[in-house]
């Protein structure tokens, strides 16, 4: 787990955060957040990606977020697929487009429990 509380505080104060990105930050720091919200839309997922961009070592601790809820566990299991879909649609910081429709559909599919073994339809 990340033990750099100073970084986490700086990130929370200077980045565009949301409940899911704060929950992810707490999880990778070994804490259990009061609000265990998961990203349900591309905007929130993008904010979680910012955390992983700003604190690359946090990626090694994504498994800790999977312990927050069954929805987080589903997302963590498909994180790479969602991240690739997101980046393919909008880039890493929304520089390619202002809409991530396919990423939103993929998130809906993951949380609905539908088969997400392949991501080809979202590429």
Per-residue pLDDT tens digits for 81-113:
999 999 999 999 899 999 999 999 999 999 998
pLDDT (0 to 100) of residue 14? 77
Q: Is the pLDDT of residue 7 over 70?
A: yes
- Domain coordinates in residue numbering, the chain: 5-118
Identify the CA nearest to 75 among candidates 86, 62, 88: 62
Tokens of 103: 């990423």
d(CA 9, CA 84): 28
Per-residue pLDDT tens digits for 21-62:
999 999 998 999 999 999 999 999 999 999 999 888 889 999
> Residues with Cβ < 8 Å from 113, sequence gap 6 or more?
74
User: From its phi and psi, is residue 35 left (phi > 0), alpha (psi between -120 and 50) or beta?
Assistant: beta
Please indicate, yes or no, whether the overall pTM of this predicted structure exceeds 0.95.
Answer: no
> Residues with Cβ < 8 Å from 56, sequence gap 6 or more?
none
Q: What are phi and psi of 53, to 5 degrees?
A: -70, -45
d(CA 96, CA 80): 19
Q: Is the pLDDT of residue 1 over 70?
A: no
Identify the CA nearest to 11 among candidates 64, 45, 55, 60: 55
């Amino acid at each position: 787990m990340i033990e750099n509380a100073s970084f986490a505080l700086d990130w929370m104060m200077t980045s565009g955060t949301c409940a899911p990105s704060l929950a992810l930050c707490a999880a990778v720091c070994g804490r259990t957040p009061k609000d265990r919200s998961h990203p349900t839309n591309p905007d929130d997922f993008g904010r979680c990606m910012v955390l992983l961009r700003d604190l690359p070592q946090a990626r090694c601790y994504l498994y800790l977020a999977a312990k927050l809820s069954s929805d987080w566990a589903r997302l963590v299991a498909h994180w790479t697929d969602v991240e690739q879909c997101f980046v393919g649609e909008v880039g890493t910081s929304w520089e390619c487009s202002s809409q991530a429709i396919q990423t939103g559909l993929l998130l809906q599919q993951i949380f609905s429990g539908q088969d997400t073994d392949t991501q080809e339809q979202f590429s």
